[in-house]
Amino acid sequence: MLVRKYIGRKLAEYYAQPSHKVVGRSIDLEASKANNNNGQLLSSLMGEWHWKRVFQKIYEEREGHWLTPVELFQPHYSYVLGDFCAHCYDRMEKNNRTNSKNNDKENNRNTNTHCNSTKQFEIVELGGGRGTNANWILSYLREHKPHVYSSLISYTLVDSSPSLHQTQKERFLGGPHADKVRFELKDLSDVAQGT
């Protein structure tokens, strides 16, 4: 048996568990989020030693369930990724306008007809966990980069875990980003192989 297939099978077994056993979440972080103090936990840390102590406690309370950087550092980690997406979109738009302008000069056309065209784009996240990252990125774009948010056709969450797939759907159902989010249940090794 190929190691790749063995690991794939083991991961499939792991991700078949209920979502609360697959990707942990911190009670401290959830309480902080419920009180609208998302950044308070991080901003209250007094240095590396304090960070290690606080997050050791968080891991102990989760009884060994691992936490992703997205869960640990929400919303900040996702805000950085959202800003990166906005930066890429703005560069794409700038390049589009420059190319349009150059083409117009070559063809003696009026540049105003092409400079206002807006490119639409998509974001695809593989292994979206509980949907936390997607939610924070979309919230960041909507609040801080509305021109990018309005140009976003879809944010697709691709996951191989049926339980996390269901958790993602429940998270976005009827929420502010419901019209932007799509869900695909797919084996991620198939995605990596292009199938």
pLDDT in tens, 51-60: 788 878 877 7
Residues 45 and 82 in one domain: no
Mean pLDDT of 104-111: 52
Which domain CATH number covers 90? 3.40.50.150
Q: Collect all residues with Cβ–Cβ distance below 8 Å to 172 and sequence separation of at least 6.
A: 131, 134, 135, 178, 181
| Residue 193 included in any domain | yes
Buried b (16+ CB within 10 A) or exposed e, 122-133: ebebebbbbbbb
| Residue 81 included in any domain | yes
Mean pLDDT of 140-169: 95
pLDDT tens across 171-194, in order? Answer: 999 999 999 999 999 987 777 777
Mean pLDDT of 153-166: 93
Residues 59 and 83 in one domain: no
Residues 63 and 108 in one domain: no
Residues 36 and 118 in one domain: no
User: In the prediction, which pLDDT does 73 show?
Assistant: 82
Q: pTM above the 0.85 mark? A: no
Percentage with pLDDT > 90 across the chain: 37
> Number of structural domains, the chain?
2
| Residue 17 included in any domain | no
Residue 19, pLDDT above cutoff 70:
no
- Enclosing domain of residue 128: 75-195
| Residue 35 included in any domain | yes
Mean pLDDT of 154-183: 95
Residues 99 and 163 in one domain: yes
